[in-house]
Structures are given as C-alpha cells and as structure tokens.
Structure 1
Amino acid sequence: MKRLSTGIRELDKILCGGIPEGFFVTLTGEPGTGKTIACLHFIWAGLTNLEKCIYVTTEESRESIIRQAAQFGM
C-alpha cells in the first residue's frame, strides 16, 4: 500500500512510512497542541511532491495559516 509522508520524519516512522494513500485523517486536540503545524507539514510534503492538497479549517483565517506556514519556511 502506498503511503504519503506526513512531512514529519518521526511521525512517518511511527506510521510505518506515513499515512496510507486514500485514507481520511482528522487531527483533534486542545488549542496549542500543534494540530495546525502538523497539518501544514503534511500539506507542504504533498505540495512538494506535486500532489493535490486541500486544507479545511473552521477556526483560522487564511492570513493566520499563511503566517504560520511562513514561520517554518513554507
């Protein structure tokens, strides 16, 4: 089964190479636990591999997402 990198090396190790292609993944947790940053790394890994990506949020503005990505050089 093809796996997609999360963009986070240690998480990919735990997941035996990443997230299985075609799976739906939801990250949940308390504010400030790194959900957005983890999602941004995953999206960035996909974009650098020329994969189609979508990021859905109901709580953060576009500007906030762009600002956070820029902090990690994305």
Structure 2
Amino acid sequence: MGKSLKGKECGTGIGQRKAGGFYARFVNKNGKLQEKYFFVLAEARNWLEDARYADRHDNMFAPADIILGT
C-alpha cells in the first residue's frame, strides 16, 4: 500500500510523489507494468479501477481468433 507525504494510506497501487502528484500502477495480465501520473488522488483511483477492469475483461465477448463466414 502506498502512502501520501503525510503518512496516510492511498490504497493498493497508488502512492504520492515528492513533488506532490500521485501515481497509480499495476501489472497487467501480460506481466507489463502500467503506470500513470495524476495531480488528484481521486483521478488516480478512478483510472486504476478502470484500467484493472479493462485488463481483466479485454476480449471477453469477441475473441480475436474467431473467423465469421457468410
């Protein structure tokens, strides 16, 4: 769990930089680190939640290997 400059918990995958901004990061299903910087903690939380959801549900309904014929 990351912490803010005042020592408060920011949440899993979220931390505060020395300059005052926040960062959010996670490892996607391919093993690549996804990271983004923000000025507001709420924006970092929203992006992290959306990015994790998109990573889990990517290609859920339309797999790329299906070929449709007529």
Give the TM-score normalised by structure 2: 0.29
Structure with greater proportional helix content: 1
TM-score for both structures, normalised by structure 1? 0.28
Between Structure 1 and Structure 2, which shows a larger proportion of strand residues? 2
Which structure's relative contact order is higher, taking Cα pairs within 8 Å and 6+ residues apart?
1
